Amino acid sequence: MDLVLSNNAQFFYKEKFICERIINIQFVLILEFPLMTKIFHILIVEAQFYPDIANELLLGAKKQLSIPNVSYETISVPGVYEIPAALNFGIKSKQKKFNGFIALGCVIRGETDHYKYICQEAVRKMMDFSVGNSSAFGFGVLTVDNYDQAYKRADSSNTKNVGGKAAVSCLEMMKLRQYFNLPA
């Protein structure tokens, strides 16, 4: 049984039967978004502390953003700790307007507590940025124990590429902002 709630949303009704008796009813809201008809511009902030990892993450993101009506520009910062400030510069820019933001980078655990503080503060500030500005945001920052773990998640030739996943997240969040009629 399909019930249409509006032009952009549909309600689907599912039933499971055991011994001719309903034991579980699930209601699932599925949003169907209109095609993006205007040009959406995305800022990618890439931390270059591990340049080979950053480049792979960026390749993965670019692959996902190579679609009609989407443009992007990339800026580099020294490390993950600098990403939140760069995102903030981007959203406050009077010369450039961005509809979405993507953060790419990597933090690898070392012998000191430095890893913990960088991860904790940078991730917290990125979440604050996203929620505080109602921004469409894709999080593509790796926090790993070693280089091998980082490369497996950054390799642009496989489906685990976190940069590509962050780009898809950003696109989905841009569609959601559009659904709720929020200004960019």
Measured distance CA(41)–CA(57) in Å, rounded = 19
- Catalytic residue, candidates 14, 16, 96, 114: 114
Cα 80 from Cα 139, distance rounded (Å): 12
In the residue annotation, 41 being an active-site residue is answered as no
Strand partners, 70: 40
User: Which token pair is 26?
Assistant: 């699930």
Task: Tell me if 161 sits within 8 A of 155, measured CB to CB.
Answer: yes
Report the candidate in 149, 156, 164 with the shortest Cα–Cα distance to residue 106. 149
Active site residues: 114
